[in-house]
């Protein structure tokens, strides 16, 4: 069972200073810089180990209102990864690339996507379940197909972290099982 620290150690830390654009027209992607003094690291129950050069996606699942968003924020802060709260977006086809390009601009957007592809940066998608409700079934399916396409290439470290609850996590798992490098982590101790 990996601890939170072991999970962090298995993820890439962004080495470039990528700057989110600012303005009202920029999507609400967050970069977390301040530590949460109330955050308590936790352990996970895993189904498979993270395998270097294979695992590209980590799905973290737990019931509602137990701290998944807090975990997502702390992971984002520790590895300096952009955090996309899907409850704030209308996901669909082209969402990932389009949102990254809009948030980082034409100069840095391709660099972010390339870094995710080559394993030197990560993207964190929180509230997948709320994104599903907001998007509707066909748009959500298009988003999941794009997410799976993003994760097809084996990479040195996992570069996509998805947090969800309940049935949406199971649905995501069905999509992601087509990916060789998929790992599901269950927040240990949050089910009791």
pLDDT tens digits, one per residue of 92-116: 999 999 999 999 999 999 999 999 9
CA 43 → CA 8, 10, 79, 104, 185, distances in Å? 12, 14, 18, 33, 9
Structural domain includes residue 42: no
Cβ–Cβ under 8 Å, residues 182 and 176: yes
Structural domain includes residue 90: yes
* CATH number of the domain within which 162 lies: 3.40.50
Structural domain includes residue 41: no
pLDDT tens digits, one per residue of 55-86: 788 888 888 888 889 999 999 999 999 999 99
pTM for this predicted structure: 0.89
- The domain containing residue 23 runs over which residues? 4-36+47-187
Structural domain includes residue 192: no
Residue of 175, 17, 5, 172 lying closest to 86 (CA atoms): 172
Task: Measure the CA–CA gap between 125 and 113, rounded to whole angstroms.
Answer: 14
Using the predicted structure, report yes or no on whether residue 132 has a pLDDT greater than 50.
yes
Using the predicted structure, report yes or no on whether residue 125 has a pLDDT greater than 50.
yes
Least confident stretch, 4-8, 30-34, 52-56, 166-170 = 52-56
Sign of the CA dihedral with 147 first, then 124, 8, and 15 last: positive
Total domains in the chain come to 1
């Amino acid at each position: 069972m990996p601890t939170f620290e072991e999970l962090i150690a298995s993820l890439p830390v962004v080495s470039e200073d990528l700057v989110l654009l600012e303005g009202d027209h920029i999507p609400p992607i967050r970069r977390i810089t301040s530590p949460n003094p109330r955050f308590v690291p936790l352990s996970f129950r895993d189904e498979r180990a993270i395998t270097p050069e294979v695992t590209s996606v980590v799905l973290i699942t737990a019931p509602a209102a137990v701290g998944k968003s807090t975990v997502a924020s702390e992971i984002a802060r520790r590895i300096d990864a952009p955090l996309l709260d899907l409850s704030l977006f209308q996901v669909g086809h082209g969402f990932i690339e389009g949102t990254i390009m809009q948030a980082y601009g034409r100069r840095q957007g391709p660099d972010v996507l390339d870094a995710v592809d080559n394993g030197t940066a990560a993207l964190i998608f929180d509230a997948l379940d709320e994104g599903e409700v907001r998007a509707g079934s066909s748009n959500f399916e298009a988003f999941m197909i794009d997410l799976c396409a993003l994760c097809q290439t084996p990479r040195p470290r996992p570069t996509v972290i998805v947090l969800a609850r309940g049935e949406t996590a199971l649905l995501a798992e069905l999509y992601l099982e087509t990916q060789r490098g998929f790992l599901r982590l269950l927040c240990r101790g949050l089910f009791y």
